[in-house]
């Protein structure tokens, strides 16, 4: 078994699923130094999934969170870039970092499009990268420690034939 790359959102409907994923992502941004994090911020003609200010530097954060299983492509990225551009213009001269977080990852053309953007680039994070950063910031224990603890639990429960064939991060209420 290698790296943990899956996040499973335990929710009864799409809205609850999206809200849970946004809350998980909020924890990541807090660990990366952002505070005053607000979720589902309504603006004229748009909604920001996450908005925040860096706790130590004069910098803001705008993030879009997608809990969909399908990879996000150019249409979704372009829409977010439009929102981000307006927020950057409004906040000038304070820099605004843009993050697009997608459980399902990104299409190849979507990634190429962002690579061509240059200085106005949006940071793209997929499920594996979110898990990696949560581990790096110690919000999650590393997979090898979780695996060891699971083995101890199996041994305690006398599950002698138990085998670990994969792992995933579970998020729920």
Q: What is the pLDDT of residue 51?
A: 97
Other beta carbons within 10 Å of 165 = 5
**21 is a domain residue:** yes
Q: What is the pLDDT of residue 41?
A: 96
Q: What is the pLDDT of residue 3?
A: 52
How many separate domains does the chain show?
A: 1
The pTM is what?
Answer: 0.84
Q: What is the pLDDT of residue 7?
A: 83
Q: What is the pLDDT of residue 138?
A: 81
**2 is a domain residue:** no
Which structural domain range is residue 133 located in?
7-172
The CATH number of whichever domain residue 128 belongs to comes to: 3.40.1350.10
Closest CA to 98 of 124, 131, 137: 124
Averages of pLDDT over each 10 residues, the chain, 173 residues: 67 89 93 96 90 97 94 93 93 96 94 82 92 85 76 82 71 57
**1 is a domain residue:** no
């Amino acid at each position: 078994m290698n790296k943990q790359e899956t996040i499973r959102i335990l929710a009864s409907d799409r809205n609850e699923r999206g809200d849970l994923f946004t809350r998980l992502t909020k924890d990541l941004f807090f660990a990366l130094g952002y505070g005053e994090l607000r979720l589902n911020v309504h603006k004229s003609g748009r909604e920001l999934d996450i908005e925040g200010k860096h706790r130590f530097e004069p910098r803001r954060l705008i993030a879009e969170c997608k809990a969909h299983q399908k990879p996000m492509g150019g249409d979704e990225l372009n829409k977010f870039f439009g929102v981000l551009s307006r927020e950057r213009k409004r906040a000038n001269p304070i820099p605004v970092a843009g993050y697009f977080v997608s459980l399902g990852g990104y299409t190849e053309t979507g990634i190429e499009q962002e690579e061509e953007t240059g200085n106005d680039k949006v940071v793209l994070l997929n499920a594996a990268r979110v898990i990696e950063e949560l581990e790096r910031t110690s919000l999650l224990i590393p997979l090898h420690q979780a695996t060891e603890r699971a083995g101890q639990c199996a041994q305690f429960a006398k599950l002698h034939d138990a085998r670990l064939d994969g792992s995933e991060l579970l998020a729920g209420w």
